[in-house]
A = this chain, B = another copy of it.
Amino acid sequence: MHVPEPDDEAVEVDEIEPLRRALEEERQRNLRLLADFDNFRRRVTREQEVARREGRRAALLPLLPVVDTLERALATGSVDPDFYQGVAATHRLFLAALREAGAEPVESVGQPFDPKVHDAVSTVPAAGVEPGTVVREIRRGWRLGDELLRPAQVVVATSPEVARPWR
């Protein structure tokens, strides 16, 4: 047990209040640091996920025009059925690989126009479909999980009465 000596009593007693305050401050600082650390850890877990998605996005985006080009080539057809079939098989493999890489095509034709995933490049008066329905896809859109990789470019139906007859 500490036995106070007459000389140091006054000094030590004066120290008690500042010591208590300093201790309380350090404890508060500790608690704040722990809370900051915890928040940072949580943020980091989210950011890892974002970074992984960014990596996928950066890898997939340049490849989408390659599918477009391959599809345009296939659309022209060929007089060489064997070669054509080989290329068509490669195209199916390409779509499957994109799905495996996490990319999913946006549904367009027959769907209601959705500005979150569709870019309307033009409209066309159309009978027999609900106005606002996508009637043609110019360029396929792609999603990556719940994010959009690129929007679909589409043609949207308007009511037939909106059409101005040719004079």
* A positions within 8 Å CB-CB of B: 1-2, 4, 9-10, 12-17, 19-20, 22-23, 26-27, 29-30, 33-34, 36-37, 40-41, 44, 47-49, 51-63, 65-66, 69-70, 72-73, 76-80, 82-84, 86-87, 89-90, 93-94, 96-98, 100-103
For this complex, 20 residue pairs linking A to B, each with C-beta atoms less than 8 Å apart, are A1-B14, A4-B10, A12-B16, A13-B13, A19-B19, A26-B26, A26-B27, A29-B30, A30-B33, A51-B52, A52-B58, A59-B60, A62-B96, A72-B86, A73-B83, A73-B86, A73-B87, A78-B83, A80-B83, A83-B83
Known contacts A23-B23, A29-B30, A101-B60; A51/B40 CB under 8 A? no
